[in-house]
Amino acid sequence: MTSFVTHLESAIDGTKLPAGTVQTLHNGRPLWVRYDLDAVKAHMSKEMLCRRPATMWRYRELLPPQHDESIVSLGEGMSAVMHLPRLGQALGLHNFWVKDESQLPTGSFKSRGLSAAVTMANEFGIQRVAIPTAGNAGGAMASYAARAGMEAYVFMPADTPDINKYECAMAGARVFLVDGLITDCGKIVQAGKEVMGWFDFSTLKEPYRIEGKKTMGLELAEQFQWELPDVILYPTGGGTGLIGMWKAFHELKEMGWLKSDKMPRMVAVQSEGCSPIVNAYESGQRFADFFDGAATVASGLRVPAAVGDFMILDAVRASHGRAVAVEEDRIQEFMRLAASNEGISVGPEAAACVGAAEMLAAEGWIQPHEQVVFYNCGASQKYPHLLRTDLPLLSKESEIDWGFIATGVQEWPVEAVYA
């Protein structure tokens, strides 16, 4: 099958560029991938979709490669969408949902973007790739590069969660720990391009990671029978997912696939420890200022400057959404709230969305009956240092009436009880 891509288009000034060749930024700003949506519509039907495998590649016509053989996949996509009545009740919301991306290959939603980006690099014959990462994108790139037989270089802040370091090294990438932030890692990747000859997979510096992330929106529409929710809460670092979903919803609208014109209000969620997008939103700016002193346990949100800042802010404003920051000190509390109420393994980034839901419901900005979806972008198990803390030790006598054991408590090797 061939691609339905017509061209690439500058997100800042609409300049058109050809798609059949390697492209990066235009005048320092990202590119959109554009499709012939009439032709897509004529070629793909909703009925057809039902018969396709449950991966993001079921939306093949809305994805960029020319050749099926280029696709590099680990089975990513079709993550579960679940209603969360107990957690919703705790937050004052009756119609609260999660799209659980923690179930994807490499344990995070980064697999979608990197599957698409590595696929396109594969199509263009690129053999050596590099990425600056807050953690999960590096893990995903290393895995997809391994699958494609590419050489991978990963640059991450030295205090990135250990699991991210291990998963990259395990997949055969060369991993560099940088005494700095993701923006410093980005400078190294940029500076090394010529000498090292690697292709730069930085967020939005190539056009295809958005296309992979876009499938989170396509799937949500399909899973909700082509009717979009009222509000989407998205943990925002570089913002690719929020931007990609907003693009997906417009493509579906243009194809006439949505049951109504209602678009969700998109909420960019950050932590008070790193909230450049929130600051820009609140002060009415289209471009965000660098956030000094970025520090948050939600490592995926520790992005003090995003190359697609204006794309995030445009989408948030066009959707009548918001950009909000939650209290850094409460993130672990929200991880626990989600896990103990619903059994879902919510990473700290998504836990910020639970906090945002609580805040926006209390403000009345979200009405109790509205349908709200948050994205759980990564598994909590990738952050064992956040799971380990705060385990209250109980007395074993207080938990069980040990009288049911005839021989008595003392002989049973129970040493500690946690709750």
Ligand X SMILES: Cc1ncc(COP(=O)(O)O)c(C=O)c1O
Binding site for ligand X (CB under 6 A): 108, 110, 134-137, 203, 235-241, 300, 347, 349, 377-378
Cβ proximity to ligand X, 134 vs 218, nearer residue: 134
d(CA 50, CA 59): 11
In angstroms, give the least distance from the CB of 138 to ligand X: 9
> Using an 8 Å Cβ cutoff, are 291 and 276 in contact?
yes
Q: For the CB of residue 234, give the shortest distance to ligand X in the complex, in Å.
A: 7
Q: Which is nearer to ligand X, 245 or 263 (CB)?
A: 245
Alpha-helix residue ranges (DSSP H) falling in 132-181: 136-148, 162-170
Given the complex with ligand X, which of 153 and 375 has the nearer CB atom?
Answer: 375
CB of 242 to ligand X, least distance (A): 7
- Residue whose Cβ sits closest to ligand X: 300
What is the closest distance, in whole angstroms, from the C-beta atom of residue 188 to ligand X in the complex?
Answer: 17
Task: Give the CA distances from residue 39 to residues 42, 154, 254, 260, 377, in Å, rounded to whole numbers and listed in that order.
Answer: 5, 38, 12, 22, 32
SS3 content of the chain, % helix, strand, coil (to 5): 45, 15, 40
H-type alpha helices, 149-275: 162-170, 182-196, 209-223, 240-254
Q: How far apart are CA 193 and CA 119, in angstroms?
A: 20
Least distance from ligand X to the Cβ atom of residue 408, Å: 48
d(CA 335, CA 318): 30
Write out the H or E segment, with its range, that includes residue 394.
Answer: strand 393-394
For residues 187 and 191, give the distance between their C-alpha atoms in angstroms, rounded to a whole number.
6
Q: Return the number of the residue (44 or 242) whose C-beta is nearest ligand X.
A: 242
- Comparing CB distances to ligand X, the nearer of 239 and 273 is 239
**Closer of 37 and 156 to ligand X (Cβ):** 156
Q: What is the smallest separation between the CB atom of 108 and ligand X, expressed in angstroms?
A: 5
Residues 6+ apart with CB under 8 A from 340: none
Q: Return the SS3 of 175.
A: strand
Query: Distance between CA 398 and CA 409 in Å, rounded?
Result: 12
Judge whether 68 and 344 are in contact, CB under 8 Å.
no
Contact (Cβ atoms closer than 8 angstroms) between residue 141 and residue 173: yes
Query: From the CB of residue 398, how many other CB atoms can be counted at a distance below 10 Å?
Result: 8
- Minimum Å distance from CB 30 to ligand X? 13
Rank residues 44 and 231 by Cβ distance to ligand X and give the closer one.
231
Q: Which is nearer to ligand X, 4 or 382 (CB)?
A: 382
CB nearer to ligand X: pick between 60 and 110: 110
Cα separation of the two ends of the chain: 54
State the residue for tokens 């391009």: 193
- Between 207 and 347, name the residue whose CB sits nearer to ligand X: 347
Answer for the pair 270, 328: CB distance below 8 angstroms, yes or no.
Answer: no
